[in-house]
Amino acid sequence: MALRIALYRPEIPPNTGNIARLCVALGAELHIVGEPAFELSEKAARRAGLDYWDKLKLTLHPSWETFSKSNPSDSKLYLISTKGKISYTAPQYGENDVFLFGNETSGLPQEIFQSEIPSGILRIPMEEDCRCLNLSNAVAVIAYEALRQIRRW
């Protein structure tokens, strides 16, 4: 198995394209949960993903329920949110872990926070003057830390 990056209803095509390219570079899977706010074939997403789309391990899940049931039993699901209390550097990550990121304007819905599935709600520390990071930047920060731990890069 591989590291799994999941996006909940992404809204900005270039962010998703950048994340797709990152997933190919890291050998990670990309999962899109729910309907994105754009067509994945849209030019902006394809341009950001360059010519890597054919190499991308992409899975589309119509809903949170189908996504949550698809996770391997030996994986941990981490929610990434500015509401998190645990620094992304604190957990010990495993090869099959799953990282779920909310969309660009509203993050993750309350129903996901209230589910019993997540192993933790992680945050990326930042100065108080900054509300949040760009989604593709946040994915890169988390993914590289997880792979640093797993592969000892």
Type of residue found at 37: A
Of 96, 93, 95, 98, residue with least CA distance to 145: 93
CA 19 to chain CA mean position, Å: 8
Least confident of 59-63, 119-123, 148-152: 148-152
Q: Domain ranges in the chain?
A: 4-151
Q: What pLDDT digit, counting tens, does each position of 21-33 carry?
A: 999 999 999 999 9
Q: What pLDDT digit, counting tens, does each position of 6-65 carry?
A: 999 999 988 998 999 999 999 999 999 999 988 877 676 666 656 778 899 999 999 999
* Pick among 3.40.50.720, 2.40.50.100, 3.40.1280.10, 2.30.30.90: CATH of 4-151: 3.40.1280.10
- Report the predicted TM-score, pTM, of the whole model to 2 decimal places: 0.91
Token digits of residue 71? 């996770």
Token digits of residue 63? 């809903």
Per the annotation, does 102 bind a ligand? yes
Per the annotation, does 80 bind a ligand? yes
Percent over 90 (pLDDT), the chain = 56
